[in-house]
Amino acid sequence: MMDLKYGASREKPREDAAMKRFRGHRVGQFIHWGLYALPAGRWEGKDVEFAAEFLPRVAKIPQHRWEALANDFTLADFDAERWADTAVALGARYMTITTKHHDGFCLWPSAHTDFHMGNTPSGRDVLGELVAAYEARGIDVNFYYSVLDWRHPDWRFTLENDADNLAFARYLDFAMKQLVELAERYPSVKGFWFDGTWDESVKANGWWTWEVERMLKERIPGVVVNSRLRADDFGARHVDSNGLLMGDYESGYERRLPEPWDRSVAAHDWEACMTIPQASWGYHQGPWAQSTLKHPWDVVDMIAHCTSLGGNFLLNFGPRGDGSMAPAEVEIARTVGQWLGVNGEAIYGCGFAEGWEYPGWGYFTQDSSTGQVFAVVTREPASGRIRLELPTGMELVGLQLLGSAGHPFNEHPFKRLAGSVFEVDLGGATSAGPLVFALETGAITGPVAEKE
């Protein structure tokens, strides 16, 4: 093991109450909102693909024209209560909001820049309104903060000379001041989601990333920080040069999940973040985005996939320029939330089911406190039957289809194929969306007649 000054803070996952709470949430609402929601991927009458929040870079928009958007950011239809209601509808237990994205615009009245909400027509403190509305509903709030800042004069992608080093030192000082400001203004925030840390300039300043994590944890005990913030003494990111995870959970899964399903992922805490369109985080009005919205059952499959490997799933919403949520995204939230309303006991507070192999037709999840195992069937075989392979020596005693109150364990048709292998006929089971069974199991006590 190398002796690192700015490496991982621990070798094992955090087991304190705040981390257990974050881990048990399993489902979060990501929100990307800023000036980019106004053009929404269209500039000078032309749709620009792959560019909602990236529009200023992709369309090479002059800085002064981008900054002028602040004058149109009227928040005419922004209502934090309605946003929070969308999170409730989704069944989200936490929300992560872009306080400042790569363009440098701040959703709070920062004292350290002029590019913020205070210099817009409404002057409203968007972050303050959101924290109040979400916490009133018992939903934890986390802050996304982009270290990358395209607007700030002292930002550097690389450090070529002393002048660059001096400028970037000023930038890191500015960013630290903004992070202290966020921690002081909104002390109830539960986590920080850092982004924009892939450039050489940041990787060469692992000490700063270590200092940021230390400062936040000093000011907000229990606060949860993602792995994207951290670089170690040698510029290694997420995982330090000794192979240990930095930050409190791995956050490299962006618009992808662990494929193939691999139990080793369950060794540490992690979170996958996902867009509803194929690839747009900010609202993009064009068919490039709007024709690629995920189906609610795709989202349910991803939620169960993450839970089965002990990870959280953060589904992104891109509100429109006027502050209204996009109706199509709200509809998806409602459908997923209705499914979670019936089947959430297989997700919330659940994780990796030790000893259960990946079944192919869906996922096994296990309640971390009761040990109850669930089968989430997201890819029903054409045969209408699933092969249920229990850990060796275990007996399937019965199974309960969630949401079918009164459906006693033993009624559902299943038969033993061999030893601890059973087949369940899904035939009669009906449910809105993927089926979930609570499994009642026991130890095999006597000889088992093997099927010929």
Contact positions vs ligand 16Z (CB under 6 A) = 32, 53, 195, 254, 273, 281
Q: Which residues pair with 249 in a beta bridge?
A: 226
**Distances, alpha carbon 202 to alpha carbons 172, 209, 284, in Å:** 9, 8, 29
- Rank residues 6 and 281 by Cβ distance to ligand 16Z and give the closer one: 281
In whole angstroms, the minimum distance from the beta carbon of 53 to ligand 16Z comes to: 5
In whole angstroms, the minimum distance from the beta carbon of 195 to ligand 16Z comes to: 5
- Rank residues 32 and 268 by Cβ distance to ligand 16Z and give the closer one: 32
In whole angstroms, the minimum distance from the beta carbon of 16 to ligand 16Z comes to: 26
In whole angstroms, the minimum distance from the beta carbon of 25 to ligand 16Z comes to: 18
- Rank residues 279 and 444 by Cβ distance to ligand 16Z and give the closer one: 279
In whole angstroms, the minimum distance from the beta carbon of 101 to ligand 16Z comes to: 6
- Rank residues 32 and 305 by Cβ distance to ligand 16Z and give the closer one: 32
Tokens of 92: 């989200």
Tokens of 343: 């089947």
In whole angstroms, the minimum distance from the beta carbon of 443 to ligand 16Z comes to: 46
Distance of CA 298 to the CA centre of its chain: 15
8 A C-beta contact, residue 138 and residue 195: no
CB atoms within 10 A of CB 440: 16
For the CA atoms of 323, 329, 335, 340, what is the dihedral angle to 10 degrees?
A: -70
Q: For residue 425, what is the enclosing H or E element?
A: strand 421-425
- Rank residues 198 and 409 by Cβ distance to ligand 16Z and give the closer one: 198
Determine the Cα–Cα distance for residues 398 and 414; give it in Å rounded to an integer: 8
- Rank residues 313 and 352 by Cβ distance to ligand 16Z and give the closer one: 313
In whole angstroms, the minimum distance from the beta carbon of 24 to ligand 16Z comes to: 23
**DSSP H helical ranges for 12-121:** 17-25, 55-58, 63-68, 80-90
208 Cβ neighbours under 8 A, 6+ residues apart: 172, 176, 202
398 Cβ neighbours under 8 A, 6+ residues apart: 408, 409, 410, 412, 440
In this chain, which residue has its C-beta nearest to ligand 16Z? 281
- Rank residues 137 and 255 by Cβ distance to ligand 16Z and give the closer one: 255
